[in-house]
Amino acid sequence: MRPAVCAFLLAGTMDTAEAQNKVAAPMADVNQVIDLTLDSLNLARTARPEAGSTRKGDHPVLFLVGNSTMRTGTLGNGNNGQWGWGYFAHEHFDEDRISVENHALGGTSSRTFYNRLWPDVVKGVRKGDWVVIELGHNDNGPYDRGRARASIPGIGRDSLHVVIQETGVEETVYTYGEYMRRFIRDVKARGGHPILVSLTPRNAWVDADSTQIVRVNETFGLWAKQVAKKERVPFIDLNEITARKFERFGKEKVKTMFYLDRIHTSEFGARVNAASFAEGVRNSRGLGLAAYLKPIESDTVTGASRKAGCPVVFVVGDSTVKNADNDDNGMWGWGNVLAEWFDPDRITVENHAMAGRSARTFLDEGRWDKVYNALQPGDFVLIQFGHNDAGDINTGKARAELPGSGYESRVFKMQKTGKYQVIYTYGWYLRKFIMDVREKGATPIILSHTPRNKWDNGRIERNTDSFGRWAREAAEQAGAYYIDLNRITGDKLERIGLDEGLRKVNAYFKKDHTHTSKAGARLNAAGIAEGLQETDCPLKTYLK
C-alpha cells in the first residue's frame, strides 16, 4: 500500500488484535450512519426479491449487489426522499430479454454483505447471469465492535481473527480486495459473469473554490479496478463517469442530486447514476451485457427547426402557451404566434409547451429533458408556468408544487401510483430549469403567467402576491431574466376594458376565462416582445 494511502486510511491507534496481527487499521467511519438492527435485517430479507424469482423463461438475470447508494432504506422505495440507482437500472435494459434484481441493502459493507446476505443471493445465480458488485461506502469503523463491518484496507491477503465484543461471535476479517475476489469466484463457479463497479461519487469537492469532485481513485475505486484486472473481469468506473457529469452540472445543480445528506441521492441523482452505469456497460469493450441494453432513443423533433449558425427560442409552459392552435376561431397559445415577432432568417421559435402541465409535471414526464438535451450555446428558453401549479399535490390531478419560491420540500405518497415522490416549491422547479439552461450555455427567461379574464371593481385579477411574485423571486435568486407578462397584458386589457368595454376584452379569450383566442395569443406575444425591450436580454436583438 502506498504511504499516501496509508496516511489517509489509518484511523487512530490500532486495537490490540490489529497490532498483534500487523494489519492496517480500519478506515475511519466519517459518515456515522446508524446501522441496521437484526429486526430490520430480517425485514430486509423479506423486502428484497428472492434471488432469481424475476427470471423469464431461460433469460438471464442481472443481479445488483451493493449498499444504500444502490438501494436506500430497507424497502428501497424512496419513502425518505432518497433513492438508490439500482431502482432505476432496469429502465435501461430490455426487460423482455433480461430482468434486473436489486439485492443491495443500506449499511452493508463488502464484509457484512458477503457474510450475511450473499449466500441467499448467489444461490439464485445461473449460467449466463450477470452480477454487478458495488461495495465500499461502509467498509470502515472498528473491526470487532459496534457495527463491526470494516474490511482490511487494500487488496492483499491479510486476515484478522476477531471476537465481536458485544456478541462474542468469532470471525475472520479479510481485505476489501479479498472479499471482491470471493464474490467473483462464487459467481464464476455458478457460470455467471461478475462485474465490479466503483463507488458512486458524493457531493464532495476538492475544496471550496474547486470545480472538481473528489474521486475515490486512491482507495476503493483503485482496489476494485486492480482486482478486476487481475481476475480478468469487467470494471466500470461509475465514480468517474458520474463525477464528470457533476462537474459539468456545477455545484448548485449537484445539490439537487442528493437529498438530506451528501451521500444518498435524490431521484435525480439516482437516475444519473443509473444512466452512468448503462453508459459504462455500453462503452466497455466486449462486454456481453451491452447486448441487453435498450437502444439509445433519438429525438429528431426537438431542435429540428435549427438553421445553421442560428439560435433557437424554445418555449415551455401550459395550455396558455400551446393549445389547439389550428382554427382561427379556436383556442390559441401565445407560443405558436410568437415567431411573428422575430426575424426568421436569424432565429427560429419552437413551442414545446403542453396543456394541463405544471412546472413539476412538465419535468416529471420527461418533457423538459427533451428541451434540455436539444439546447446548444446561444439558444434561449422562455419558461411560463403557474396556471396548473396549485391544487392537489398527491391526489386528484396531482400536479401542484409546494407554494412559494423557497427551498422547502416534502415527501408525498402519490395516490394513483402508490409511489413516493419529493415535491419542492414552485420556485425550486423554475430555478432547476434556469440551472439546466445555463449549464448548456443558453439563456433562460422566466415569465409570469398570463392574466385571466376575471375582474373586481374594474381591475383584472393579478398574480402579484402568488405565482407572479414567486416567479420573479426565482428569477432573481438564480439571476435569470424576468418578464412580468401578467402585468403587461393585464394593463393592456384594463385599458381596453376602460376604453371599449368588457365585451371587447372578451374577444381576447375563448370558451373560458383562462384560454385565449388567436387575438389574445397575439396580445400576449406582443407583451413578451415589449417585455424583452425593457431588459438587456440579447434575445431582443432578434426581434423584427
Active site residues: 319, 512, 515
Closest-CA residue to 302 (of 375, 230, 358, 195)? 375
Is the distance from CB of 177 to CB of 159 less than 8 angstroms?
no
Is the distance from CB of 158 to CB of 117 less than 8 angstroms?
no
Rounded distance between C-alpha atoms, residue 452 and residue 494, angstroms: 12
Alpha-carbon radius of gyration of the chain: 28
Closest-CA residue to 65 (of 241, 202, 186)? 186
Cα torsion at 66, 254, 35, 1 (round to 10°)?
Answer: 60
Rounded distance between C-alpha atoms, residue 171 and residue 169, angstroms: 7
Is the distance from CB of 47 to CB of 75 less than 8 angstroms?
yes
| Region at 87 (left for phi over 0; alpha for psi -120 to 50; beta for the rest) | alpha
In this structure, what C-alpha cell is assigned to residue 356? 394541463
Q: Which residues contact 521 (CB under 8 A, 6 or more apart)?
A: 332, 333, 334, 336, 337
Is the distance from CB of 157 to CB of 175 less than 8 angstroms?
yes
Q: Where are the alpha helices (DSSP H) in 91-151?
A: 110-112, 118-122
Q: Which residues contact 102 (CB under 8 A, 6 or more apart)?
A: 48, 49, 64, 70, 71, 76, 84, 86, 87, 89
Is the distance from CB of 160 to CB of 152 less than 8 angstroms?
yes
Rounded distance between C-alpha atoms, residue 218 and residue 233, angstroms: 20
Q: What are phi and psi of 339, to 5 degrees?
A: -60, -20
Strand-strand pairing, 455-456 and 459-460: antiparallel
Rounded distance between C-alpha atoms, residue 81 and residue 84, angstroms: 10
Strands, E assignment, 175-311: 193-197, 235-236
In this structure, what C-alpha cell is assigned to residue 526? 406582443
In this structure, what C-alpha cell is assigned to residue 150? 470494516
Closest-CA residue to 266 (of 395, 440, 408, 423)? 423
Q: How far is CA 365 from the centre of its chain?
A: 13
SS (H, E, C) 417-476: CCCEEEEEEHHHHHHHHHHHHHHCCCEEEEECCCCCCCEECCEECCCCCCHHHHHHHHHH
